[in-house]
A and B are shown apart, each in its own frame.
Chain A
Amino acid sequence: MKYRKYKRYKDHNEDYEFEDNEYRNNTQERYVKNRSKENISDSRKNCEMTECLNCGWTLPSDWKGSLPEHCPNCLSGIHRETEEGYECGGILEPVGFWVKDDDKWEIIQRCRFCGEMRTTPMNGKDNRIKVLSIASRPLSMPPFPIERIKELRGIGGRDDETEGGE
């Protein structure tokens, strides 16, 4: 199976982490196998999945409704096609959440292979523990010492009035 030359996507930092070649070849192989099995021709079906290449989840036989766009267990997906129309085949990894103004959530996913980002709507079937663990990751690794910053005491705390506001 031949692939077109990939266009790599980088952000402003040159020190981007990309997965190694072995990983890439493996996922691509599995993806190609699956794809020929399913014989996806409809472009709408492009992001639907019946099994997860990341965690091994498979669609239960009593699944109701439309096929999921991302794995409800680990929230990953498959990056079948890039914005420019190239085939990718990398695993879309959940990196964060976008809380929209109407309180609907979108899962922000980033392709481990090409770095492209996309969003997919979250639904009630998604694994809540996984959601919480991703959402709390930034809080456990702050970019600065939280306790030293005065403005932050107002967020989620009650000690503002008792301290008498410097």
Chain B
Amino acid sequence: MNRENKKRKYDRKYFRTHPCTDPFTCKVCGWPVVPAGAGTSHRNHCPNCLYSIHLDNEPGDRGSDCYGRMEPIGVWVRKNGEWVIIHRCIICGKISSNRVAADDNPARLMALAMRPFGSAAIPREDIRKITDYFSTV
């Protein structure tokens, strides 16, 4: 175990091949994050507020010293139907993605996905025009 800890400390690529299972407290909302219940071993975001912290340049390398908050800005559905949260660092603007975990707050997730529809950029008028168009085809 001791040797393993040493490896973790000095091997920069350790977390690329080894899942990080340490419990941590969310720096944004204070939620205690435990690995149990996530259903995935590569969770990097808080299940309550969905924020992440900018630690990696590339996934798992712990190569960044930015430590900015990473705001969830959107969701992306992969070809296999899996949801991925897209994060953007509020300090440096880096964008990264992380698969949703089983215990992520479902209301927050849905609110994130609904965000475009509550916005003025898609006017109701447009949606009606488009639905009209499709009902006549």
- The chain A residues found within 8 Å of chain B, CB to CB, are 9-13, 17, 95-99, 103-105, 108, 110, 117-119, 122, 128-129, 131-132, 135, 137-139, 141-144, 146, 149, 151-152, 154-156
Contact = CB atoms under 8 A, between A and B. Distances in A.
25 contacts: A11-B96, A11-B97, A11-B98, A12-B44, A17-B80, A96-B73, A96-B86, A99-B115, A99-B119, A105-B116, A108-B95, A117-B96, A117-B97, A119-B95, A132-B130, A135-B122, A138-B113, A139-B114, A143-B83, A143-B109, A146-B110, A151-B106, A152-B107, A155-B111, A155-B114
Contacts of A128: 122, 126, 130
B79 interface: yes
Classify chain B's interface size.
35 or more
A135 B126 CA distance: 14
A92 to B, nearest CB: 12
A13 B82 CA distance: 11
Interface of B is mostly: mixed
A10 B59 CA distance: 7
